[in-house]
């Protein structure tokens, strides 16, 4: 086994995390929105904030975008690319908005109305075309589709509508693009959600075509579900396309990654490292993205906290002695095999991460560096004045 500091350095070199544009703006729940003076007002602000996170962490080069919130005028997409470059970041995944319009009350591509389904499919195809223009490879699909009452619609008919729509979208992809199909057990549909679990998302991705894979949101699970088992199965089937990072106490609380169960996040990362170890160190292509609700925490601070937590847990998972663990597994030495995980999880990797940051001219403590930079206060002053001038009371919405 290689030295821990080398293992940590190797792990962090290929670990990149995409931050979401909507995570920098004022967000809320269905009950209301809590405003922050430094929250981003427009896309220029979001990209500036994302650039600040990347400068301090060195591992967040791309920004996930929501089409309707970030590209209200598609003809100005090139300007957004230029603005991103100015702040040292790039446009990452494209997220179609298939839940906000009034027509989607009964669903988007699962809607019983053919005209509404056609509109939704066209929006996905337009998002794919936008991705081509922006050199973005991932189209991230989350659907609010489902029903609230027994008998409201045919469950099987909705399944068939999904199959047809996703096949049509897949045909629109360039060879270097791919669809990420997300799932969610409930909300806003409470009787049945059309893509309620990883098996449904897996089936739809397979039916769509070879450039479709499953996106695992770490919060979109019931409390008792074993997420690392889901990850292991998807890895084995070459169907794990990406993650949305967050944590949950109940099922989809969108809490900060690792704030509730850091050991679970570690175990998920371990499955990825273990998979790569069995393949001679070759890692699968996985998009790591943040999707959290920063209603109460300061936006940029919460993003930096999430990123550094993910780096720490990913680094710890890289320290598992897989050779010993496999031997113990074969010999039925259960405690010894489990302790391979416990030992790595309990290892203090702060010094090794500090050395990696130093080698990349990054601050040893990104959060402290951000607080000392004065960025938050300057952004709050400038944006508060701009809100008054524009007659605004808040920022973008969040679903």
CB 214 within 8 A of CB 202: yes
Tell whether 394 is covered by a domain. no
One-character DSSP codes across 266-319: HHHHHHHHHHHHHTTTPPP--EEEE----SSS-HHHHHHHHHHHHHHHHHHHTT
CA dist 108 and 166 (Å) reads 12
6 part of a folded domain: no
Both structure tokens of 199: 């098996």
d(CA 311, CA 309): 5
Domain hosting 182: range is 13-386
Distance of alpha carbon 117 from alpha carbon 322, whole angstroms: 48
pTM of the model: 0.95
Return the exposure string of 230-264: e unless at least 16 CB atoms fall within 10 Å of the residue's CB, then b. Answer: bbbbbbeeebbbbbbbbbbeeebebbbbbbbbbeb
Print pLDDT tens along the chain (399 aa).
Answer: 678 899 999 999 999 999 999 999 998 776 778 899 999 999 999 999 999 999 999 999 999 999 988 998 877 888 999 999 999 999 999 999 999 999 999 999 999 999 999 999 999 999 999 999 999 999 999 999 999 999 999 999 999 999 999 999 999 999 999 999 999 999 899 999 999 999 999 999 999 999 999 999 999 999 899 999 999 999 999 999 999 999 999 988 899 999 999 999 999 999 999 999 999 999 999 999 999 988 889 999 999 999 999 999 999 999 999 999 999 999 999 999 999 999 999 999 999 999 999 999 999 999 999 999 999 999 999 999 999 999 986 444 443
**Token pair for 133:** 């223009």
Q: Are 89 and 57 in contact (CB under 8 A)?
A: no
What is the number of structural domains in the chain? 1
Q: Write out the H or E segment, with its range, that includes residue 386.
A: helix 375-390
The C-alpha atoms of residue 390 and residue 380 are separated, in whole angstroms, by 15
395 inside domain: no
* Structure tokens given for 253: 């609380």
Residue 367 lies in a domain: yes
Q: Residue 265: what are its φ and ψ, rounded to 5°?
A: -65, -40
The length of the chain is 399
CATH for 35: 3.20.20.150
Dihedral sign (CA 212, 218, 220, 224): positive
- Report yes or no on 393 lying in a domain: no
Residue 21 region by backbone torsions, left for phi larger than 0, else alpha for psi between -120 and 50, else beta:
alpha
Dist CA 232 CA 234 (whole Å)? 6
Residue-wise pLDDT for 178-195, tens only, equals 999 999 999 899 999 999
- Residue identified by tokens 């449904």 is 200
Six token digits for residue 195: 């893509």
């Amino acid at each position: 086994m290689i030295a821990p500091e080398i293992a940590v350095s190797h792990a962090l070199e290929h670990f990149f995390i995409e931050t979401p544009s909507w995570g920098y703006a004022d967000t809320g729940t269905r009950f209301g929105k809590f405003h922050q003076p430094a929250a981003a007002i427009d896309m220029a602000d979001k990209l500036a904030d994302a650039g600040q996170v990347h400068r301090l962490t060195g591992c967040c080069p791309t920004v996930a975008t929501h089409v309707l919130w970030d590209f209200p005028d598609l003809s100005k997409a090139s300007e957004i690319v230029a603005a991103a470059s100015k702040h040292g970041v790039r446009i990452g995944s494209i997220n179609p908005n298939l839940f906000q319009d009034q027509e989607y009350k009964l669903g988007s591509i699962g809607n019983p109305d053919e005209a509404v389904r056609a509109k939704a499919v066209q929006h996905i195809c337009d998002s794919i075309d936008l991705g081509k223009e922006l050199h973005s490879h991932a189209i991230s699909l989350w659907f609010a589709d489902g029903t609230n009452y027994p008998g409201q619609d045919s469950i099987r008919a909705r399944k068939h509508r999904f199959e047809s729509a996703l096949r049509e979208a897949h045909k629109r992809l360039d060879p270097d693009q791919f669809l990420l199909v997300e799932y969610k057990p409930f909300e806003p549909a409470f009787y049945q959600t059309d893509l309620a679990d990883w098996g449904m998302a897996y089936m739809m991705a397979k039916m769509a075509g070879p450039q479709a894979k499953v996106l695992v949101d770490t919060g979109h699970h019931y409390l008792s579900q074993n997420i690392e088992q889901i990850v292991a199965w998807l890895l084995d089937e070459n169907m794990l396309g990406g993650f949305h990072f967050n944590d949950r106490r109940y099922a989809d609380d969108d809490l900060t990654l690792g704030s509730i169960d850091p050991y679970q996040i570690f175990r998920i990362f371990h499955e990825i490292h273990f998979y790569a170890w069995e393949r001679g160190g070759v890692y699968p292509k996985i998009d790591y993205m943040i999707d959290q609700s920063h209603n109460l925490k300061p936006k940029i601070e919460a993003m930096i906290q999430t990123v550094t937590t993910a780096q720490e847990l990913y680094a710890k998972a890289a320290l598992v002695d897989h050779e010993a663990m496999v031997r113990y597994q074969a010999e039925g030495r259960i405690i010894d095999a489990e302790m391979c995980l416990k030992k790595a999880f309990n290892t203090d990797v702060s010094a090794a991460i500090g050395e990696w940051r130093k080698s990349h001219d990054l601050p040893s403590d990104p959060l402290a560096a951000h607080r000392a930079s004065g960025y938050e206060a300057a952004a709050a002053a400038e944006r508060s004045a701009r809100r008054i001038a524009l007659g605004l009371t808040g920022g973008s919405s969040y679903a």
